[in-house]
Chains A and B, each alone.
Chain A
Amino acid sequence: SSELTQDPAVSVALGQTVRITCQGDSLRSYYASWYQQKPGQAPVFVIYGKNNRPSGIPDRFSGSSSGNTASLTITGAQAEDEADYYCNSRDSSDNYVFGTGTKVTVL
């Protein structure tokens, strides 16, 4: 399957830790990258590879992977982290695939 499945929504208390998961067969072979999207804005690239952050992304964002599941963890969530988060990877035909998206609410 070339699908990437994410939980539709998660919530986290301010300052606490939240983990967002992305499941798919392709993740056994390829790393996922992660994107943050706030309302009315373009997605922003936040995690790539094994656990790498582009310049300017706070170190409270981290990534990991095991088997068919990739995870994005926000440690010490801030109000500004409230957004939709998408994972992305490829399938066996070199097509890009996006996850279904997770809405993160910071309480």
Chain B
Amino acid sequence: QVQLQESGPGLVKPSETLSLTCTVSGGSISSYYWSWIRQPPGKGLEWIGYIYYSGSTNHNPSLKSRVTISADTSKNQFSLKLSSVTAADTAVYYCARGQTVTTDLDYWGQGTLVTVSS
């Protein structure tokens, strides 16, 4: 059974960089797409971006160039960096596994709340 677990600071100061890591167990990240999704309190889901096991990435245009997604296959982890954060970036952040042909996200982490505040 594939399991994903997000980790990282729960509090980030405005203008700083949010950094999260997703550790995958029960399967290798050397296949599939690996996504980050977030959900502001009381709001809907927003796709942030993905990394394919080959290293190619894609991200939500609304986040412009603030997003960096990388992977460490030796640790079976992938990571998110979101720069220049503001209070609007406060959300529960989820990592998830995506299928290779479709946008189906079949396994999700439990999510981690990141609050942007001074």
Contacts and interface: CB of A to CB of B under 8 A. Distances in A.
Contacts of A45: 104-108
Nearest to A33: B104
B44 A101 contact: yes
A44 B94 CA distance: 12
Nearest to A45: B106
A43 B50 contact: no
B46 A98 contact: yes
A103 to B, nearest CB: 11
Q: Is the interface of B mostly helix, strand, loop or mixed?
A: strand
In the complex, which range does the number of interface residues on chain B fall in? Answer: 20 to 34
A54 B98 CA distance: 14
B102 A86 contact: no
Contact of B45 (A41, A54, A93, A98): A98
Nearest to A48: B104
Given A42-B94, A98-B46, A101-B45, A33 B109 contact: no
Interface string A19-44: 00000000000110101010001111
Contacts of A97: 47
Contacts of B110: 41-42
Interface residues of A, number: 26
Given A42-B110, A48-B104, A49-B102, A86 B60 contact: no
B107 to A, nearest CB: 8
A96 B103 CA distance: 7
A98 B106 contact: no
Interface of A: 30-31, 33, 35, 37, 41-45, 48-49, 54, 86, 88-90, 93-101
Interface of B: 35, 37, 44-47, 50, 58-61, 94, 98-99, 102-111
